[in-house]
A = this chain, B = another copy of it.
């Protein structure tokens, strides 16, 4: 079927992931799942926020390769992206690695976009693929909204950009994997959807229609029920976008409420009111998947999940010029079931 669900030609496993977060994310409910964090000021020893973000990507990939004992030359290709203008978080952060490099821009859906492309290319052409994405609260705030020093007020629908980066190692060789490594069984590429939302402080509302489109396309084609999954994890709609998605999905005959969670709602304590509608950013769904969800899958607590990365394809200038905000949502099905079809 044109535009439908795609399956890697050969199995592609997520052999490992490495996560790097800021001190607030490390202090949150998922803190124990992350590999590295900056305990002090989220600068990661760098002089600017942008360089700190690049350093997070470098640390994530370095940790990933170091733990497995692999050299750059043993990695076939890398997919990477971030939110910074011209994606310099990735461009500079990954320079130390002599690995063929595909630059992506999918806003906060970049983690899912990279996993989708990595699984499809790796499943057809073999070899090891690294995918990586990042966001940094301070580099994003001053680029998309106000200078950090200004301390701008935020409405309740606003989300908080996560300081985090996650790198994933995909492989078509089972010998690269430890026991119970999950694999990427299916991919559904997002279609851009714009429902006229112009409020740049309500990304959840802008992205929810794209998530809905992807959810409807997936369940319509697959014929499955939401309940057949241990979880449907969007990232990152936050509280506002999540409630919109659930409500509209129910109206479309797909009740996901019992199995739906949003990475932006998982990463911070609900009591942390300064996070408003929850986490966001290229790093948010990436570290929740790389740290927490993969751990649940490996331990057998979950066996079959849908990971739906959502992104808002706006820029500060497009909003200033009166443009509404397009959203996109890429779906990746991750499973440890041998017989998952």
Contacts and interface: CB of A to CB of B under 8 A. Distances in A.
Interface string A307-328: 0000001111110010100101
A102 B94 contact: no
B117 A87 contact: no
A180 interface: no
Interface string A125-144: 10100000000000000000
A95 B317 contact: no
Contacts of A326: 91-92, 95
Interface string A105-134: 111000001000100110111010000000
Contact of A315 (B85, B102, B125): B85
A191 interface: yes
A103 interface: yes
Nearest to A144: B86
Contacts of A88: 313-315, 317-318, 323
Contact of A101 (B123, B314, B328): B328
21 contacts: A2-B74, A2-B75, A2-B76, A3-B77, A47-B321, A48-B321, A50-B318, A77-B189, A85-B85, A85-B317, A87-B313, A91-B313, A92-B326, A99-B191, A100-B188, A100-B189, A103-B104, A103-B313, A103-B328, A104-B105, A120-B124
